[in-house]
Amino acid sequence: HPHTTRWTLLQRLHVRFTSISGTLPTQIGHWTSLARLDVAHCQVSGTLPIELGAITTLSEVYVEGNQLTGAVPALAVRRFCTLIDEERRTNEFACPLPAALSDTCRAALACSDDGDVDVVVRRIVATLVDDSGVSRNATASAAAIGGAVGGVVLGVVVLLACA
């Protein structure tokens, strides 16, 4: 991971549904131009680096469908955030959720009695902010779009319908 600190101009990392495995490097905090992180449905394990919370340009995060554990960092994600696949329940994040976690990431999450982060409802909720700074909420139910396909398609549908 030593060379990953040189990736300061990287704006989008999209490796969804690849066989990428291992942990996300802590050097990701140096990727100060990163706007979209998509490592969904790979074989990523370990924890989400706390350094992700320092990236102020980060507007989209997709990490569902992996084997991530531990605390959720204080992500300041503005547009769309998917941490847990509601169908497969793969990542097992621990509570409590950080107070500084953006509403975009927190929208469909809650702490369960066993201390794990869980999906609140079978609905994907996104808070979107347009270029003028106006917030809009968008929802998509799994049943309405074909829940058997899973959270990936739901996320895409919400982005296309409300962006």
pLDDT band per the 50, 70, 90 thresholds, residue 76: confident
Span 2-31, pLDDT tens digits? 565 578 889 999 999 998 999 999 999 889
Cα–Cα distance for residue pair 11/36, rounded to 1 Å: 7
Residue 49 structure tokens: 């680096």
Entry pTM: 0.69
pLDDT band per the 50, 70, 90 thresholds, residue 35: very high
- The CA R_g of the chain, rounded to the nearest whole Å, is 15
Cα–Cα distance for residue pair 102/105, rounded to 1 Å: 6
State mean pLDDT over 108-132. 63
Between 78 and 131, the more confident residue is: 78
